[in-house]
A and B are shown apart, each in its own frame.
Chain A
Amino acid sequence: KAGVTQTPRYLIKTRGQQVTLSCSPISGHRSVSWYQQTPGQGLQFLFEYFSETQRNKGNFPGRFSGRQFSNSRSEMNVSTLELGDSALYLCASSLLGGRVNEKLFFGSGTQLSVL
């Protein structure tokens, strides 16, 4: 069974631009979560989607958004990029997610650099 796939692997953008990252969960998994990883802040929860609905959201500004499609694939978008948005963006999938305690399976991430 294929794992969580994230594209692109690397991305370089300039301040003010916007970016869209893509994630394909493990087949059969309906929950997709997004995390931001930086050396200073570590891994921080962005949001979670389940059945095309955002179910949970972390403490990030509205410039960070996402969506999920009917096939459970998910995208996240960051608008008006800032230097501080440079990070590794990780996508994780699970069967049910949300308030069910289950392990998450992570992709290899998209390394975003904002210049």
Chain B
Amino acid sequence: GESVGLHLPTLSVQEGDNSIINCAYSNSASDYFIWYKQESGKGPQFIIDIRSNMDKRQGQRVTVLLNKTVKHLSLQIAATQPGDSAVYFCAENFNTGGGADGLTFGKGTHLIIQP
């Protein structure tokens, strides 16, 4: 089946810089997208979501951009802090009308913050 993927398994940034984590999805029928953050020993933690009728959504220090034309999703983290170190997953949801409707996750990008 189709799946969500991420461009880079690891991303290293300097503390204080902005981080951009990218994700490419292949299912044009996907109508809902979520970014999760997973720290070592913990479950995924919700960061931000966006529906397919939007192309940008902002949260606290985070912005998600959705480009449906090229099926691309990105997460921007402003002024990266040490606590942002984690693995970031994008996930998509599409309603097939039957069968498995669970979220489809990408393989994750490990964000490393350099002091």
Contacts and interface: CB of A to CB of B under 8 A. Distances in A.
B83 interface: no
User: How big is the A interface, by class?
Assistant: 20 to 34
A58 B31 contact: no
Interface stretch (A13-21, A74-82, A105-113): A105-113
Contact of B102 (A35, A101, A109): A35
Contacts of B95: 99
Contacts of A35: 102, 105
B26 to A, nearest CB: 15
B108 A106 contact: no
A104 interface: yes
Contacts of A45: 100, 102-104
Interface secondary structure of A, over-half rule: strand
B93 interface: yes
B66 interface: no
A65 B41 CA distance: 25
B100 A59 contact: yes
A98 B101 contact: yes
Nearest to B32: A101
A35 B105 CA distance: 10
Interface in B65-108: 89, 91, 93, 95, 99-108
21 contacts: A4-B43, A42-B89, A43-B44, A43-B103, A45-B103, A45-B104, A56-B99, A58-B100, A59-B1, A59-B100, A92-B43, A98-B101, A99-B101, A101-B49, A101-B51, A103-B34, A103-B49, A104-B34, A106-B36, A106-B45, A108-B41
Interface of A: 4, 33, 35, 42-48, 56-59, 90, 92, 98-99, 101, 103-109
